[in-house]
Structure 1
Amino acid sequence: MPARLRTAAARLLLPTVLALSFAVQAVGALLPSVPLLVAAAAVGLAADIALHRWQRGMASALGKLNATVTVRQAVRDLLMVTGLLRIEEQDYETKYLALVCGLLVFYALHFACQALAISVRRTRTLPVVTRNIDASALRLRPAPPALLMQRAGQRLLMFGLPSSVGLLAAAVTGSARLAAAGIALSAAFAVVAVAVLLLRLRPGRRPVTSEEALEWFEAWLAEYQPTVGMYFSGGTSSAYQANMWLEPLARLEGRPLIVLRERFMVRKIASTDIPIVCLPKVADLMRLEQSTLKMLIHPSNSGKTSQVLRIPTIKHAFVNHGESDKLSSCNPYAKAYDEVWVAGPAARERYALAAVGVDDKDVVEIGRPQLDVIQPYAGAPTGPYTTVLYAPTWEGWDGNPGNTSVIEAGENIVRALLADPGVRLLYKPHPLTGSVEPRAGAANTRIQEMIRAASAARAAEHADERPAPSAAAELAARTAELDRLTTSSSRPGADDAERMLLQTAPEPGRAAAVTAATAAWEAAYWASFPAWEHQIVTGARPTVYACFNVADVLISDVSSVISDYLESEKPYAVANTSGLPEQDFRVTFPTVRAGAVLTPDASGIPALLESVRHPEKDTYAEARTELKLHLLGPSDPPSVVRFNEAARALCAEADEHRAAMAVRALPVIPTQRDAESTLDSEHVRG
């Protein structure tokens, strides 16, 4: 069975067991049959607990079908009581009426607990969420246990466990006292939970009010006096767009600040010493107008970007999260910013040709300051294996078949690479692959299956050529150290008050420690597996830049990956799934002109590998140097310097604008002549 089918079957196993348990329990209650009743109820309860523990997404999907955990637990208890009544048909009024009333009391307490949890959560939802800022002045308190606050389904299952066990015991022994004891214990748990939450609603235990939190935030702004910053808004999978600008932002002159709009994004931003503030409401965002903030860079466009552009005291620069020949790299929205910062002349020309309303005077070439980690080309591979990085982009929003090679060419490319015994393949698909086009997701899954099978076959051939156990231990140690430095101290789903309580000011020197730990982790990662082993890289680590440094050649699509990879001047190839002839393809997409072009059947793979292994056959070396200059600009002055100069100039414009606004706001003071004229006119009127 293919891996994707096994995965789908595994995901459906618990829901199937859960559905069958209700059917069997109903049969056991109606027959009645004590073994069927007890076994089905026990299996169903275990499946429900496992579902909430390991498959929360599936539990949410059942909830959308109105099969919520409350409904499931109530049906399970109803069937148990029905079975008990059927087993003992006499005197059921005196024996089991009290049990039904007890269950109703327990469910009433459960709903009361849920209502209180919502109320407590609302009091702990603050108008501003921060990270890397000391929020001790707010005197925040830890949140109640997550079981009480957020996990209503797990709470019902856990608190209802004694009643379920008691009902099962009553069915086996015939003693209603066991059921009564279990229900009483469940009700007692619920009473304690209600009491804990009620205490949190006392005036003295509530967090600060929204106005108090905003006053504290404004006081912090006045003390910190930020000058430069980054504004970001996006979905859960888009954080990488902001993360690539963290280090360049940290190196800017001035006092940097990161402004976010979505609460969940506070945790998504990678480790940094830069203060982070999240202002979900527009009214609160406007408070930045009175701050010392002079300019913001924008790595992406979003619906909420227009809101911050309303602040007249702040200048805005669009830096994008990558540049390519696609139309998305010259979006008309860019004209809304004060300036558009691009890597090199190619992007300037792209905006001019697109004629989307961006004036050439507003385009500033700054290079790509985050590319200084990429190592230069060192020549042909020195070892027995040629490392090929296949990094296709995603399918995009417009449905253009030429956006990604995964669907039409991906499997052919991977098959041709795996057929070469001297190739080590690194496969790093775009994080959004399959998010729009299901065929891309399916092809991505098949490609990964092919790579795993090839790795398994190679492992059998090289059974005695594994790294020493110390390599795995070293990687584990480096991973633990890097996680300690970069993982947020707040748990997933933490509320605003809890997150601000735990995310205090960073330790001095942590940014340098993260950089050193990252380098050590990357070295340990590549050393942890043999040189012949293929790798599938889908997580945040290693980064695509780290993959650039170990790759001998890149295969990609028309995307910003090519522009960034050219910093190394290593050979690359582009898959042409656009349907255009090769010459037209090169003319339409200038980033292709210094690389090989692969057709969907991947027939050009052997020639590509030959040119990599024998540089004298590489006909694009000089073209890559020229294209690098065209795409990324000159290396002197360095991109970091140009980035800082652009920020300094835009801050100066912000200062000039504020000064002009201040002059226009001054009241007009009348001169002596104006005063005399006024008196004369009044005398005439008199």
Structure 2
Amino acid sequence: MPEPTSPRRRTAAPLLVLAVLAAAFTAQAAAALRPHVPLLVASTAVSLAVEAGLYRWQPGMLSLFAKSHADVTVRHVLRDLLLVVGLLRLGEQHRETQYAPLVAGLLAFYALHCTVQAASVLVRRTRTLPVLTRNIDASALRLSPAPAALLRRPGHRLLVFGLPATAGLTATAVTGDPRHGAAGVALALLLTSAGLCALLLRLLPGRRPAGEREVLDWFDAWLAEYRPTVGLYFSGGLSSAYQANMWLEPLAGVGGRPLIVLRERFMVPRLAATDIPVVCLPKVSTLMRLEQSTLQVLIHPSNSGKTSQVLRIPTIKHTFVNHGESDKLSSCNPYAKAYDEVWVAGPAARERYALAEVGVEDKDVVEIGRPQLDAVRPCAGPPAGPYTTVLYAPTWEGWDGNPGNTSLVAAGENLVRALLADPGVRLLYKPHPLTGSVDPRAGAADRRVRELIRAANRERSAPRPAPSAELASRTAELDRLTTAAFRAGADQVERMLAQSAPEPGRAAAVARATAAWEEAYWASLPEGEHQIVTDARPDLYACFNVADLLVSDVSSVISDFLASEKPYAVANTSGLSEEAFRAAFPTVAAAAVLTPDAAGVPALLRSVRDPRQDGLAAARAELKRRLLGPASPPSQLRFAAAVQALCAAAQEHRARAGHRLSADFPGQRREAADAPAPEAGGPLTPRRPFRPV
């Protein structure tokens, strides 16, 4: 496990960079005014080195400099200006005329730099399409690879293109020969001119991607040809992609002609591998074009501010499936009543909505199970090896400040200490991605827990095996299927071009490669070594499959883990008694309840290792049925049946709306009545291949 940087070091590093850069400019100014050649050369070199280091190791400081009106252009101009001042102070009076062309060349270089930046902005605008897609043939849009990354990043570009001029001026300061400066400035002008030409060529009519009107017409034509029936709608932040990813495979198994609708451009590459066509519609005006399509149902795995925009489309039925269910109030959000239906896993969620009285009627609640939990393997008995694998997966602190949301602040360190104290425990620590985003105390507790785990690993000092060739091979294959298809400098249009024609069955290939990678990953770890799992791989369900016990909070993690029927424990940091805690949170009914002091951990571990001491096995099986529904019919079939029923309701609604429009406005607004009907057999006829060329 890589050693993370401590908070103090994270704070000290920017301050050190700022101090060194300020000292370098101060020294350069003093050397230019004095003048002092060695100091001038040394301070200029240090300034350039720190500048390069900013982009490599401290990119966060760049925005701070920009907000302070000390961006890269200002810093670069100041550096060269001080060199020119030094030259003028060093030279004799009659030599000032020899340096005048150097100053003129520098002015021309910076003017050209500004022109290149303007051209770069224009190119970026031509490559900002109103619709982004994946798994759809977009060759008609004249897509092309992105310009070189250097031309799109003003800071990097100025550093590279301006380096010859700065180096030439420095050489002139040392030698007194203005030809060095002239050569450096000329080379800088040449490089910048070449970059400008490369960008201007992309602005020619035949070299630009299609314009907005052309793209929208193409999108309308594609919708008319593909004729989507059911879609997944998602909008969220950078760390929320998992909420959509968990529903990709169930949606692909439904049949018909599914579609994925995204709202944020950055979410397109974060979506996991899928064969389903993906469209990103950032603008509301573009989103509204779905009203004239054959799309009948949109499935929503999360609420967001942009959800209300798509709910305005009356021709589409909307259902909320959530990305996880728990006893928290967030699982009974009043916003759910805005949807036509709410799909839940089992009877417990139905009861939860009824008790919450948030306006969701019982007739609109449909039980579908959790089809994505097919990946969770059932319990195979007590731990067979020398170690009991315990997964500690606390949730985040939430928005409401409830101390019972996460166990990290009040109990995390105690729980981890108690688990690490048992020499037969291998701990997997997987915190929620949003931990510390609201309450700094949760972030601090998370860092302390990680340090406890690292210290325990140092004491355990298990022999570390040689790097696994199998894992390296599996990682390379998985990267090839997921991310390696894109070069580092690819922009959104280039990614769209690369994903216009995916290999058939790519999603299945990624699933197989992921399973093989997970097997190789777990096999490569030293026996008994504790793990801090924060990367995208392995995912939570993969951790479920190797864990013998889960320790968590009141969250959807519990409900999902119950698919395995393995033992689990819940930390009670709510301040309630155990009896009141169990009464308030039904998902705790089959759990061992741990107090903040973690006193119950030893007994819990004994019950996991000896099934005769596990008195909750029957309760877990019963709670699984309440939370996730019956095992038969399978969740995927129930999910497909719910989709089919809601699609039928959407068709009936469209038919009634068409008749009303025809009767109320004869000869007008015929588009609703004349909207193309789904193909015979309904949306879920035996599945035909997608057409994502």
Which bin holds the TM-score, normalised by the shorter protein?
over 0.9
Q: Per the alignment, in what secondary structure is the counterpart of residue 477 of structure 1?
A: helix
Of residues 55, 62, 80, the one that matches 2:58 is 55
1:336 aligns with 2:338: yes
Matches within 5 A, 1:96-175: 96-149=99-152, 151-175=153-177
1:294 touches 1:655 (CA, 8 Å); kept in 2? yes
1:614 aligns with 2:628: no
User: Which residue identity is paired with 1:418?
Assistant: L
Partner of 1:28: 31
Partner of 2:188: 186
Q: How far is 1:4 from its partner?
A: 3.7
2:88 touches 2:96 (CA, 8 Å); kept in 1? no
Partner of 1:281: 283
1:170 touches 1:176 (CA, 8 Å); kept in 2? yes
Partner of 2:97: 94
In 1, Cα distance between equivalents of 2:579 and 2:144:
65
After alignment, is 172-181 or 239-248 more displaced? 172-181
Task: Give CA deviations for 1:242-288 in whole Å, capped at 9, x if unaligned.
Answer: 01111111111211110001111101101111110001111111111
Partner of 1:683: none
User: Which residue identity is paired with 1:18?
Assistant: L
2:37 touches 2:174 (CA, 8 Å); kept in 1? yes
Q: Per the alignment, in what secondary structure is the counterpart of residue 424 of structure 1?
A: strand
After alignment, is 659-668 or 183-192 more displaced? 659-668
Q: How far is 1:496 from its partner?
A: 4.0
Partner of 1:394: 396
In 2, Cα distance between equivalents of 1:70 and 1:85:
22
1:451 aligns with 2:453: yes
Q: Per the alignment, in what secondary structure is the counterpart of residue 634 of structure 1?
A: coil
User: Which residue identity is paired with 1:561?
Assistant: V
Partner of 2:687: none
1:531 aligns with 2:527: yes
Partner of 1:564: 560
In 1, Cα distance between equivalents of 2:17 and 2:524:
36
1:475 touches 1:521 (CA, 8 Å); kept in 2? yes
Long gaps (5+) in structure 2 = 667-693
In 1, Cα distance between equivalents of 2:443 and 2:489:
28
User: Which residue identity is paired with 1:37?
Assistant: L
Of residues 474, 478, 481, the one that matches 2:477 is 481
2:457 touches 2:530 (CA, 8 Å); kept in 1? yes
Partner of 2:299: 297
Partner of 1:680: none
Task: Give CA deviations for 1:378-410 in whole Å, capped at 9, x if unaligned.
Answer: 221111111000000011111111111111211
Partner of 1:19: 22
TM-score, normalised to structure 2's length?
0.93
User: Which residue identity is paired with 1:106?
Assistant: F
Distance 1:86-1:364 versus aligned 2 partners, 3 A rule:
same
In 1, Cα distance between equivalents of 2:42 and 2:259:
58
In 2, Cα distance between equivalents of 1:441 and 1:669:
61
1:228 touches 1:293 (CA, 8 Å); kept in 2? yes
Task: Give CA deviations for 1:72-102 in whole Å, capped at 9, x if unaligned.
Answer: 1111111211222222253353132322222
Task: Tell me the number of residue pairs that the alignment of Structure 1 and Structure 2 aligns.
Answer: 663
After alignment, is 369-378 or 574-583 more displaced? 574-583
Partner of 2:647: 651
Partner of 1:73: 76
Q: Per the alignment, in what secondary structure is the counterpart of residue 367 of structure 1?
A: coil
1:3 touches 1:449 (CA, 8 Å); kept in 2? no
User: Which residue identity is paired with 1:396?
Assistant: G
Of residues 489, 495, 498, the one that matches 1:502 is 498
Q: Per the alignment, in what secondary structure is the counterpart of residue 485 of structure 2?
A: coil
Long gaps (5+) in structure 1 = 671-686
Matches within 5 A, 1:3-14: 3-10=6-13, 12-14=15-17
Q: How far is 1:208 from its partner?
A: 1.1
User: Which residue identity is paired with 1:577?
Assistant: T
1:125 touches 1:495 (CA, 8 Å); kept in 2? no
User: Which residue identity is paired with 2:259?
Assistant: L
Partner of 1:318: 320
Partner of 1:250: 252
1:267 touches 1:488 (CA, 8 Å); kept in 2? no
Partner of 1:267: 269
Partner of 1:582: 578
Of residues 539, 542, 566, the one that matches 1:543 is 539
Of residues 555, 576, 591, the one that matches 2:587 is 591
1:634 aligns with 2:630: yes
Partner of 2:235: 233
Q: Per the alignment, in what secondary structure is the counterpart of residue 267 of structure 1?
A: coil
User: Which residue identity is paired with 1:525?
Assistant: Y
Q: How far is 1:44 from its partner?
A: 1.2
User: Which residue identity is paired with 1:60?
Assistant: S
In 1, Cα distance between equivalents of 2:393 and 2:524:
22
1:250 touches 1:274 (CA, 8 Å); kept in 2? yes
1:661 aligns with 2:657: yes
Q: Per the alignment, in what secondary structure is the counterpart of residue 324 of structure 1?
A: coil
Q: How far is 1:668 from its partner?
A: 7.5
User: Which residue identity is paired with 1:96?
Assistant: Y
1:28 touches 1:34 (CA, 8 Å); kept in 2? yes
Distance 1:181-1:2 versus aligned 2 partners, 3 A rule:
closer
| Percent identity for Structure 1 against Structure 2 | 71
Q: How far is 1:557 from its partner?
A: 0.7
User: Which residue identity is paired with 2:43?
Assistant: A
2:168 touches 2:181 (CA, 8 Å); kept in 1? yes
In 2, Cα distance between equivalents of 1:166 and 1:335:
69
Partner of 1:223: 225
2:145 touches 2:490 (CA, 8 Å); kept in 1? no
User: Which residue identity is paired with 1:293?
Assistant: L
1:343 touches 1:368 (CA, 8 Å); kept in 2? yes
Of residues 59, 62, 67, the one that matches 1:64 is 67
Of residues 425, 428, 437, the one that matches 2:430 is 428
In 2, Cα distance between equivalents of 1:193 and 1:330:
55
Q: Per the alignment, in what secondary structure is the counterpart of residue 394 of structure 1?
A: coil
User: Which residue identity is paired with 2:129?
Assistant: L
Q: Per the alignment, in what secondary structure is the counterpart of residue 440 of structure 1?
A: helix
Of residues 293, 309, 312, the one that matches 2:311 is 309
In 2, Cα distance between equivalents of 1:451 and 1:485:
33
Q: Per the alignment, in what secondary structure is the counterpart of residue 220 of structure 1?
A: helix
In 1, Cα distance between equivalents of 2:453 and 2:533:
11
In 1, Cα distance between equivalents of 2:14 and 2:276:
40
Q: How far is 1:5 from its partner?
A: 3.0
Q: Per the alignment, in what secondary structure is the counterpart of residue 485 of structure 1?
A: helix
Partner of 1:208: 210
TM-score, normalised to structure 1's length?
0.94
Q: Per the alignment, in what secondary structure is the counterpart of residue 93 of structure 2?
A: coil
Q: How far is 1:491 from its partner?
A: 5.0
In 2, Cα distance between equivalents of 1:500 and 1:388:
42
2:263 touches 2:281 (CA, 8 Å); kept in 1? yes
Q: Per the alignment, in what secondary structure is the counterpart of residue 395 of structure 2?
A: coil
> How large is the Cα RMSD of the aligned pairs?
1.8
In 1, Cα distance between equivalents of 2:5 and 2:312:
53
